[in-house]
Chain A
Amino acid sequence: MSKQIRQLDRVVIRFAGDSGDGMQLTGDRFTSETAQLGNDISTLPNFPAEIRAPAGTLPGVSSFQVHFADYDILTPGDAPNVLVAMNPAALKANLVDLPRGADIIVNTDEFTKRNLAKVGYQVSPLEDDTLAGYAVHPVALTSMTIGALADQDVSKKDAERAKNMFALGLLSWMYSRPYESTLRFLERKFARRPELVAANVAAFRAGWNFGETTEDFAVRYEVKPAQMPPGTYRNITGNAALSLGLVAAGVRSGLPVFLGAYPITPASDILHELSKHKKFGVLTMQAEDEIAAVGAALGASYGGALGITTTSGPGVALKSETISLAVALELPLVIVDVQRAGPSTGMPTKTEQADLNLALYGRHGEAPVAVIAPKSPADCFYAALEAARIALTYRTPVILLSDNYVANGSEPWLLPDVDSLPDLRVEFASAPNGEDGTTFLPYLRDPETLARPWAIPGTPGLEHRIGGLEKADKTGDISYDPANHDFMVRTRAARIETIPVPDVEVEDPDGDARVLVLGWGSTYGPIGAACRGLRQRGLSVAQAHLRHLAPMPANLGAVLRSYDRVVIPEMNLGQLAHVIRARYLVDAIGYNQVRGLPFTAAELETMLEEVLKNV
């Protein structure tokens, strides 16, 4: 039977199952196949903090959403067109996001009385009208997988575990994905157990062939490659891009990279990734706590390395005192905060942007630091380089505010030419800088950058002492002089405030917008998609996005004042809006949501339409 092929311009698929069902891996593989095809993609993993919550329960549901299109897209998509539900819990947890008409592929083997009862289904939703209006495809995924592997040399448990590859095979067939990379991946992943390679490949093929032969799937879909700038691409998550950016910063500065880190969700992957790159001279240390992690990084910076610490909000709170010390010592330090929903443990695997205040103000004394935020997964690479550039050039701590959404989401990344990356080379102090030609003044500043000399131990003739006590201008000697303290506090503020950062760019293709949407960090995608939606409907709206939160771009005030209305969507209760109102006296409107999930483009579009009506 030859199947009908239908062209689509975009599709959103959500894979959902138990945390042990391998949904993240399945989604990841589908994404990789899709990337190979040249579609634009954006992904959103969503998983519980529990490693293995009780099987079959709602808290144990893990999902992975992938949005792919034949044009450039900005978000993982608001609502799935297809849901793959590996059990009743996965169906129940995700049904609320599914628009009527969507395809639902369910693993019927898991719809047992017991599993249904676990999530409160009295009657199987496959048998009543719960799924009326959806295109339901019941598939006995588990039993068909076990059946397909009957003659394989694997245990029943291993056979059962390969059911995610059956699902992947089926979806790969449905959307005409090239699967060579998945076969290669399986060979790598199970290199030491050839029988598992064979079993997983067989399960994948069984899923593919099932699609080909069953009458339940009458249509196969194609999504043509997107028009993207020429070059070599790879699909990358924010945490991976950030890690590579830090490695690149080491290469481009010629300095050894030292990472001090304590495991914390969702930042640990950066520690894992950087620990693989010893051949770049990257030294990683899993410290005894968050405080030691930043302390060791600062000690490494003192010795002439690029000192980095990676964490999430609770860790930044613990590091606060050491960051203030770094402010006083005026040494380079990069602090990466992969934000998660707080306060306290909060929702460790869910996203939020509520550490902006912490980054800007969360220290004792007047302790300004530079703060920057990436806008997308691939942008994390450049944000890491920029954080290193500021830290090294201006000898200051820099806080990089990533978040769970960009950290674990992924998108295609056009690989940069290494030689085009910024030159981060620094000069250590090598000779006395006093007027007499023999004394060394550790706090004599470069008039342009206001940075003090970086005189690392081992340099003859520059022996000096630094510390947390207030220092006299130039000499760095302990000083309790009132005028000196006032001067030093103001100088430390000026050091940050005068760091040159690029002007904020405004996207206003119609040129007549009266409303500006201002965002920062990971909201770039949903805001951009909402603005596009409005423009497609003939409405004018301008978008500006902040990468630099401290210092802010010099043109920001003028930009803000040139619009009748400024709207600031944030995944917090208005932290940037507060800064903007205080700093620029602009009556910005906040749009705030803290649900642990990114904004949908649709909700922003609806909200902005209201604002546009009332200007």
Chain B
Amino acid sequence: MSEPIALKLTAKDFKSDQEVRWCPGCGDYAILAAVQGFMPELNIPRERIVFISGIGCSSRFPYYMNTYGMHSIHGRAPAIATGLSATRPDLSVWVVTGDGDALSIGGNHLIHALRRNVNLKILLFNNRIYGLTKGQYSPTSEVGKITKSTPVGSADAPFNPLSLALGAEATFVARTIDSDRKHLQSVLRAAAEHEGSAFVEIYQNCNIFNDGAFDQLKEHETRDDYLIRLEHGQPITFGKDGQFCVVHPPGGFGLEVRETATTRPEEIVVHDANVTDPAYAFALSRLPGLDLRNTPIGVFRAVQRPSYDNVVRTQLDAARAEVTETPEQQLAGLLSSGDTWTIL
């Protein structure tokens, strides 16, 4: 096997000529820079990369990528991307969406793309607010959120995006943070390598309408005590001094955080993203509290299941393998199939 030809692209090659128009200080800038910086690693020519988005602040993303791109309509990006990916297995198709786009108006398409395992890399920028429409609560906003549309506090419970994705049979589920470029890129790398749907939640700060939503995970004083950095094959411990760990309590359904000092080492869960049973990743997704304590980031789940694209392609190829006639001959045969009669 010959070595792939290195394309020697740089982040600059992925910058389009369009002026970036997010609010100054928006977390989207950091994500854009991280993605543009990561793209050369794919070693895929720009013309074979497509970014498809829906509507919302995050969905302006494709305009800024010097690849093929479509800024579509609210919530529908996974559906549009499914049609593209299924017919064009040669492309690398990325979906950029937000918490309102993916989980509210487009919830149905998201869960079905995941269950089908369409070969899409789905980046969900979660800022827990509607930014583009100027500050209404979103399906990931905390209960009681006071916004323009909920002046006395929202009444509905939020989605946990990772729990939702896991319930929808996602084969790859990960979380990362806009401000941690290195971690973000490591998650993108894992997502890109995954065959099938890769679902990546990116915590993203909206400094205008929901500023500081994830501060505990970013500030020097708190972040190490709050964040659980998942690493495949490693025992799950966290905290400034590794003082916390994750265990599977006997008799319980889920996972719990304990103090490392009082826990026997063999009780500490060793992270395995390849566990077939989604219950494990689901339990991980339920760890964070309302105050963002115990928030895992990294790859929760990465399991193998044939992608939708692959299955339908195999069916098409199998059907076409038997064909020996030209398309026109085939068509003539099809038209005259069934009971026919001839008038002379």
User: Does any Cβ of A come within 8 Å of B3's Cβ?
Assistant: no
The distance from the CB of B14 to the nearest CB of chain A, in whole angstroms, is 10
| Cβ contact within 8 Å between B83 and A298 | yes
The listed residue with most A CB atoms (<10 A of its CB), out of B46, B73, B80, B320, is: B80
- A123 an interface residue at 8 Å Cβ cutoff? no
Q: Mark B323-341, 1 if CB is under 8 A from A, else 0.
A: 1000110111011101111
Interface string of A225-256 (1 = CB under 8 A from B): 10011111111000000001001100100101
* Residues of B with C-beta under 8 A to A300: 83-84, 86-87
**A293-339 contacts to B (CB < 8 Å):** 295-305, 307, 321-322, 325, 329
Contact A415 B112 (CB under 8 A): no
Q: B262 within 8 Å of A by Cβ?
A: no
Q: Which of B18, B79, B336 has the most CB of A within 10 A?
A: B79
Which of A234, A305, A465 makes the CB contact (< 8 A) with B69?
A465
Q: Is B70 an interface residue (CB 8 A)?
A: yes
Choice from A248, A251, A283, A415 contacting B87 with Cβ under 8 Å: A283
> At the interface, yes or no: A460 with Cβ under 8 Å from chain B?
yes
A103 within 8 Å of B (CB atoms): no
Collect the chain A residues with CB atoms within 8 Å of residue B85's CB.
299
Within 8 A of A (CB), among B270-318: 312, 315-316, 318
Q: Interface with B: A51-59, A274-282, A401-409, A534-542, which one?
A: A274-282
Docked CA distance A416–B339 (Å): 16
Instruction: Report if A445 contacts B (CB, 8 A).
Output: no
> Which residue of A230, A292, A461 is within 8 Å of B108 (Cβ)?
A292
CA distance A235 to B337 in the complex (A): 11
Residues of B contacting A288 in the complex (Cβ-Cβ under 8 angstroms) = 79, 108-109, 112
Stretch at the interface among A32-40, A66-74, A133-141, A515-523: A32-40
**In the bound complex, do residue A465 and residue B84 qualify as a contact, i.e. CB atoms below 8 Å apart?**
no
Which of B52, B82, B84 counts the most A-chain CB atoms under 10 A from its CB?
B84
B88 at the interface (CB under 8 A from A): yes
Does residue B48 face the partner (Cβ distance < 8 Å to A)?
A: yes
A231 to B343, CA, bound (A): 5
CA distance A230 to B344 in the complex (A): 5
**Whole-angstrom distance from the CB of A538 to the nearest CB of chain B?**
32
**Contact A303 B84, CB 8 Å, known A292-B109, A322-B73, A465-B63:** yes
Known interface pairs A296-B83, A457-B88; A181-B339 also in contact (CB < 8 Å): yes
Smallest CB–CB gap between B334 and chain A, Å?
7
Question: Contacts of B2 on A, CB cut-off 8 Å?
Answer: none
**In the bound complex, what is the Cα–Cα distance between A465 and B68 (angstroms)?**
6
Q: A36-B341, A466-B70, A467-B72 are in contact. Are A304 and B62 (CB under 8 A)?
A: no
Interface size class of A (residues with CB under 8 A): 35 or more
With A292-B108, A303-B87 as contacts: A460 and B79 at CB distance below 8 Å: no
- Candidates A234, A281, A297, A322; contact of B320 at CB < 8 Å: A281
Interface string of B89-116 (1 = CB under 8 A from A): 0110000000000000000110010000
Given contact pairs A36-B341, A232-B340, A296-B79, A458 touches B335 in the complex (Cβ within 8 A): no
Cα–Cα, bound, A468→B67 (Å): 17
Contact in complex: B47, A232 (CB < 8 Å): no
Residues of B36-70 at the interface with A, using a CB-CB cut-off of 8 Å, are 45-48, 50, 52, 55, 62-63, 65-70
Q: Which of A450-493 contact B (CB under 8 A)?
A: 457-469, 477-478
Residue A260 interfacial (CB < 8 Å): yes
A292 adjacent to B84 (CB under 8 Å):
no
B63 to A467, Cβ gap below 8 A? yes
- Answer yes or no: A47 CB below 8 A from chain B CBs: no
Q: Cβ of A602: which chain B residues have Cβ within 8 Å of it? A: none
Question: Counting chain A CB atoms within 10 Å of each CB, which of B18, B66, B339 scores highest?
Answer: B339
* Nearest opposing residue in chain A for B21, CB measure: A478
The residues of B that contact A304 with a CB separation of less than 8 Å are 87-88
Q: A299-B84, A463-B68, A468-B73 are in contact. Are A287 and B79 (CB under 8 A)?
A: yes
CB of A291 closer than 8 Å to a CB of B: yes
Instruction: Report Cα–Cα, A232/B341, bound state, in Å.
Output: 6
A477 touches B18 (CB 8 A): yes
**A residues in contact with B319, CB < 8 Å:** 278-279
Q: Tell whether, in the assembled complex, residue B341 and residue A296 are in contact, meaning their CB atoms are under 8 Å apart.
A: no
The answer, yes or no, to whether B200 is at the interface (CB within 8 Å) is: no
CB within 8 A of A279: which of B47, B320, B335? Answer: B320
Within the assembled complex, what's the spacing in Å between the Cα atoms of A256 and B67? 23
**A285: interface (CB < 8 Å):** yes
Q: Known: A235-B339, A465-B63. Is A299-B52 also a contact (CB below 8 A)?
A: yes
Q: Which residues of B come within 8 Å of A, CB atoms?
A: 16, 18, 45-48, 50, 52, 55, 62-63, 65-73, 76, 79-88, 90-91, 108-109, 112, 312, 315-316, 318-320, 322-323, 327-328, 330-332, 334-336, 338-344
28 contacting pairs across A/B (C-beta < 8 A): A229-B343, A232-B340, A233-B340, A251-B331, A260-B83, A277-B334, A279-B323, A283-B312, A288-B112, A291-B108, A292-B108, A295-B76, A295-B80, A295-B109, A299-B52, A299-B87, A301-B83, A305-B87, A325-B72, A462-B47, A463-B67, A465-B62, A465-B65, A465-B68, A465-B71, A467-B63, A468-B71, A478-B63
Cβ-closest 7 pairs across A and B: A467-B71, A299-B83, A296-B83, A295-B79, A278-B319, A299-B80, A292-B79
